[in-house]
Amino acid sequence: MRLCLVAGARPNFVKIAPIIHALRARQHDDWFLVHTGQHYDAKLSDTFFSELNMPVPDESLGVGSGTHAEQTAKVMLGLEPILARRQPDVIVVVGDVNSTLAAVLVASKLGIRIAHVEAGLRSGDRSMPEEINRLVADVLSDVLFTTSEDADENLLREGIPRERIHLVGNVMVDSLLQHLDAARRRDTLQRLNLIGSNGQPIRYAVVTLHRPSNVDAADTFHGLMTAIDHVAQQMPVIFPVHPRTAARIASWEGAKGDVRTMESLPYLDFLALNASASAIFTDSGGLQEEASVLGVPCFTLRENTERPVTISKGTNELVGTNPTSIIAAADRVLNQPLGKNTEIPLWDGRAAERIVDVLLTVR
């Protein structure tokens, strides 16, 4: 059973790493890793490989940035000869980025079986590029690994046969639980001046924004920042800035509060930061899940989420992008203790083991 593992962008690395560790633990070494190069900055790629103990990729496509068509096409052109030469039995793709879509298209036409990790998530919003990527990846996949029951229901509703669907839990949570102790031992909070005179973390909030719908239009972005600045007048707001957001934030001059922007953080620093935060404001998908596992209130600055279990069982609240609603929600939650946070079934750090168990029996 030869496996091809594909990773392209920052969240992919966090999801592929535990699968590599589970393969190693099973002493299955017939696999190779392809890095498409969709993310290439050291801060978005190299540090993740080293901190997550990932090997140097066997193949690097170096596709870089571009329009959706350019990026997808470059991954397809780079990957096709590699798959033809190395002849994997199964290709394993994760998440919903353009690299995921491209790999699935290539493999399906070469007759290589496809396993999709994090299948079945649906926002119902086809203006999101990720929603298109998810729909195509799932319809072409032979083995669909899901994180929660709602994803199973989505797939069944779309006509995917039940025997292809495996509810295994969440590999991003595997990475989180594997590295949380190491993250907490870091001096991240000291370096960011977030430790009080009593030696304990002070109250602070974390912000991340990178969705095109939130950062590409100045009006929308500035509205969100008005709400963030309201929070920053109560506590420091730490804002690691994604490259996509960097140009936009340079033109924002409205800060009255303590908004501390910085470059994207490495995985362990970011985990340490989130673990002790009083609140997280984000448009990320993965961070909604991570906040829920960490028990930190999360405000999702979007109109929809493909991860409803983080609302029903976790700490997530969908607050939209209207500054007035965000401010109202923040004021309500920041001034009262967190009321809910139940364990999400199978988000226990062992999803990758369950995935490998299934993968090694694919016929």
* Region near ligand UD1 per CB under 6 A, out of 22-30, 36-44, 329-337, 349-357: 36-44
Reported as half-sphere exposure (CB side, CA atoms, 13 A), residue 142 has a value of 16
**Is position 324 an interface residue for ligand UD1 (rule: CB under 6 A)?**
no
281/273 Cα distance (integer angstroms): 13
Complex with ligand UD1: residue 229 or 283, whichever CB lies closer: 283
Rounded least distance, CB 249 to ligand UD1, Å = 13
Contact 267, 285 (CB under 8 A): no
Q: Is 286 helix (H, G, I), strand (E, B) or coil?
A: helix
* Of residues 274, 276, 211, 213, the one with CA closest to residue 239: 274
Task: Name which of 278 and 288 has its Cβ closer to ligand UD1.
Answer: 288
Question: Under the criterion CB under 6 A, does residue 240 sit at the interface with ligand UD1?
Answer: no
263 interacts with ligand UD1 by CB under 6 A: no
Short-list 281, 331, 286, CA closest to 302: 281
Nearest of 240, 280, 234, 277 to residue 256 by alpha carbon:
234
Supply 60's token pair.
């690097």
Residue whose CB is less far from ligand UD1, 171 or 194 = 171
Catalytic residue among 210, 222, 230, 242: 210
Interacting positions 124-143 with ligand UD1 (CB under 6 A):
129-130
Question: What angle is formed at CA 132 by the lines to CA 358 and CA 60, rounded to 5 degrees?
Answer: 65
Question: Do residues 146 and 167 touch, judged by C-beta distance below 8 A?
Answer: yes
Q: Is 28 a catalytic residue?
A: no
Between 8 and 349, whose beta carbon lies closer to ligand UD1?
Answer: 8
**Residue 306 CB, nearest distance to ligand UD1 (Å)?**
11
Distance CA 20, CA 31 (A): 9
Among 3, 5, 9, 155, binds ligand UD1 (CB under 6 A): 9
Identity of residue 284? S
What 3-state DSSP class applies to 39? Answer: coil
Q: Which is nearer to ligand UD1, 235 or 291 (CB)?
A: 291
Verify binding: residue 252, ligand UD1, rule CB under 6 A.
no
Smallest gap from Cβ 103 to ligand UD1, in A, equals 12
Q: Is 243 in the site for ligand UD1 (CB under 6 A)?
A: yes
- Cβ neighbours of 53 (radius 10 Å): 12
Contact residues for 182 (Cβ-Cβ < 8 A; gap 6+): 268
User: Does the protein bind ligand UD1 through residue 10 (CB under 6 A)?
Assistant: yes
In the complex, minimum distance from the CB of residue 151 to ligand UD1, in angstroms, rounded to a whole number: 17
The verdict on 41 binding ligand UD1 (CB under 6 A) reads: yes
Element (H, E) at 238: strand 237-241
Pick the closer one to ligand UD1 by CB: 179 or 242.
242
149 touches ligand UD1 by CB under 6 A: no
Per the document, the length of the chain is 363
Distance CA 274, CA 315 (A): 13
34-42, 82-90, 119-127, 199-207 -> range binding ligand UD1 (CB under 6 A): 34-42
Q: Does 98 bind ligand UD1 (CB under 6 A)?
A: yes
- Residue 322 identity: N
Q: Which residues bind ligand UD1 (CB under 6 A)?
A: 9-11, 38-41, 44, 65, 96-98, 129-130, 210, 242-244
Active site residues: 210
